[in-house]
Chain A
Amino acid sequence: MKTIKEKHSLAMRWCHWVNFPILSIMIWSGLLIYWANDIYSITIFGHTFVKFFPDWFYKTLGIPQRLAEGMAFHFLFMWFFTLNGVFYILYTIISGEWRELVPKRNSFKEAWLVLLHDLHIRKTAPPQNKYNAAQRIAYTAIIIMGVGSVITGLAIYKPVQFYYLTWLCGGYHLARIFHFALTIGYVLFFVIHIVQVILAGWKNFSSVISGFEVVNETPKPAIQTVNDDENAK
């Protein structure tokens, strides 16, 4: 017999889907800014391993020479990004949903087992509630990253007025590197997240829009006796 299992609250779904386009715009407009002075690379002993990003990437997206436009979009959508994030964090705390989200003491050990399971090395995954251990760590990390982006962002936006934030981030230069690194983090998270969602299937995806999952439960005899044929189908 099918039953409805409530899964995601309306607020969580709202924040999730509002955040998705906003974060995309923030990354895009951030790239417009970054291109004005694209100095970052991973260089060890004079050999450049990674250059963010290759030239074809910029050309495809039409990114060069649009610093002013990038800043304008970035400084508008930072409001929505921040407000949405603040609302989500407050909601999570007040509603008590943080209990489902924050890693538990054994989460870090369990996340390893989840990973092995996902890689098809281990047959069974540890039992879970709403989120498994790996999800708890990833989703909590992404919230902290969001807070980090706002703080490092403010630190490089107004380094004189928010001098204490800039100091907290280890200076202007380091704050900018953190701000950039967090963006790389979002992109990596996004790729893994999408792959996982595809693997988890439609039912899982659908629940982030509708809020519930349909579960097939073996009917209990006690209920069967009171059921009429209408409910039994």
Chain B
Amino acid sequence: MKTPNKKIKKELTIEQKINRRNFISFGAFTVFAAGAFEGWRWLYKSPTETAGITGEAHRPLRKALNKTEIFFRRLVFNENHLVKTYPKEMAAKRVRYNSDIGMEAKKKFDPATWKLQVIKKGGEILQVSIDELKALPKTEIVYDFKCVEGWDQIQHWAGVKFSDFIKHFQLEDYAKMQYVGMETPDKGYYVGIDMPSAMHPQTLLAYEVNDHPIPLNHGAPLRLIIPVKYGIKNLKRIGSINFSNTRPRDYWAEEGYDYYSGL
């Protein structure tokens, strides 16, 4: 006996239904898998960006990095978010030493003759001695220094707040610009910092570690301690400071790292 057909189309048998559904699902699966594989190959072999302020990364990855950074900065960056600090006793006695890029000077570097050069408009250079900096209010910080490689260490630094330095030398007009650039005296290492991070209350021009003057391998006589950034932005042996509205050159951004590298 046949049930009366409501549709003119013949009802599929179970066997046909199984085949049909298997065909569709396995077919779609194969198509998607091939598409995903092709997409991955495209991404993995995509050309690298033209080297400039940033470099080395695949173009789509660089785009994603920039967008991701901007997203998180807008979502959560807050100048009032202070980095967690610790009691002095917790600070490492032997501060980890990781790199000497920009400090492998051919002739011996003498901190005694060093002066910080602040490059102002019209090529005017403000020269600041370490004693002038030490005369400014001293700020100490004991915090967890974080390296982009993954290690971290609680360290104790002291120096002058970058914002205090700006105020004292009447650089407020420069601080209205978007970026600060800092370079070692030999120009071998250089970083670009966005102004909000530079003016963060915990950003220091540091001249002391564990209550002693900074040793040569940690960037004597003056280094940047910027707790809202990875270690790669904490320039050792600051030679010059400049200001701009475009991103200053940055050593590790040229090597493929994110320009902002914020925490």
* Min distance, Cβ A166 to any Cβ of chain B, angstroms: 8
Mark contacts of A51-90 with chain B using CB atoms, 8 A cut-off: 1 yes-contact digit, 0 otherwise. Answer: 0000000000000000111011101100100000000000
Residue with the greatest number of chain A CB neighbours at <10 A, chosen from B68, B82, B148, B150: B150
Give every chain B residue within 8 A of A230 (Cβ-Cβ). 13
Q: Is A72 a contact of B84 with CB atoms below 8 Å?
A: no
Give every chain A residue within 8 A of B252 (Cβ-Cβ). 68
* Min distance, Cβ A203 to any Cβ of chain B, angstroms: 12
Mark contacts of B57-98 with chain A using CB atoms, 8 A cut-off: 1 yes-contact digit, 0 otherwise. Answer: 110111011001000100011100111100000000000000
For window 161-201 of B, CB contacts with A under 8 Å fall at: none
* Min distance, Cβ B138 to any Cβ of chain A, angstroms: 23
* Min distance, Cβ B226 to any Cβ of chain A, angstroms: 11
Question: Which one, B21, B32, B149, contacts A210 given CB within 8 A?
Answer: B21
Cα distance A33–B149 when bound, in Å?
A: 7
Q: Is A161 a contact of B14 with CB atoms below 8 Å?
A: no
Q: Is B13 a contact of A76 with CB atoms below 8 Å?
A: no
Q: Is A71 a contact of B22 with CB atoms below 8 Å?
A: no
With A21-B40, A160-B83 known as contacts, the answer to whether A36 contacts B150 (CB < 8 A) is: yes
B15 on the A face (CB < 8 A): yes
Give every chain A residue within 8 A of B114 (Cβ-Cβ). none
Q: How many residues of chain B are within 8 Å of chain A by beta carbon?
A: 51
Give every chain A residue within 8 A of B18 (Cβ-Cβ). 2, 4, 212, 214
* Min distance, Cβ B253 to any Cβ of chain A, angstroms: 10
Cα distance A110–B257 when bound, in Å?
A: 50
A158 on the B face (CB < 8 A): yes
Give every chain A residue within 8 A of B64 (Cβ-Cβ). 72, 75-76, 79
A173 on the B face (CB < 8 A): yes
Cα distance A135–B17 when bound, in Å?
A: 29
Q: Is B227 a contact of A160 with CB atoms below 8 Å?
A: yes
Q: Is B149 a contact of A67 with CB atoms below 8 Å?
A: yes
Question: Which one, B68, B72, B76, B77, contacts A76 given CB within 8 A?
Answer: B68
Question: Which one, A1, A67, A76, contacts B148 given CB within 8 A?
Answer: A67
B263 on the A face (CB < 8 A): yes
A226 on the B face (CB < 8 A): yes
B119 on the A face (CB < 8 A): no
* Min distance, Cβ B72 to any Cβ of chain A, angstroms: 6
Q: Is B13 a contact of A73 with CB atoms below 8 Å?
A: no
Q: Is B76 a contact of A161 with CB atoms below 8 Å?
A: yes
A190 on the B face (CB < 8 A): no
Question: Which one, A1, A163, A172, contacts B81 given CB within 8 A?
Answer: A163
Question: Which one, A157, A211, A228, contacts B25 given CB within 8 A?
Answer: A211
For window 151-193 of A, CB contacts with B under 8 Å fall at: 157-163, 166, 172-173, 176
* Min distance, Cβ A75 to any Cβ of chain B, angstroms: 5
Give every chain B residue within 8 A of A163 (Cβ-Cβ). 81, 84
Give every chain A residue within 8 A of B84 (Cβ-Cβ). 163, 166
Q: Is A2 a contact of B32 with CB atoms below 8 Å?
A: no
Q: Is A209 a contact of B14 with CB atoms below 8 Å?
A: no
Q: Is A162 a contact of B76 with CB atoms below 8 Å?
A: yes
Q: What are some 21 contacts across the A-B interface (CB < 8 A)? A: A1-B14, A4-B17, A17-B29, A21-B36, A36-B149, A37-B151, A67-B149, A72-B258, A75-B258, A76-B61, A158-B72, A158-B76, A158-B262, A161-B72, A206-B22, A209-B26, A210-B26, A214-B18, A228-B1, A231-B13, A233-B13
Q: What are the 7 A-B residue pairs with the smallest beta carbon separation, nearest first?
A: A68-B256, A161-B76, A36-B149, A210-B25, A76-B64, A37-B149, A37-B150
Interface residues of B (CB under 8 A from A): 1-3, 13-15, 17-18, 21-22, 25-26, 29, 32-33, 36, 40, 56-58, 60-62, 64-65, 68, 72, 76-78, 81-84, 144, 146-152, 227-228, 252, 255-258, 262-263
Q: A2-B15, A2-B18, A230-B13 are in contact. List 4 more A-B contacts (CB 8 A).
A: A2-B14, A36-B150, A72-B256, A76-B68
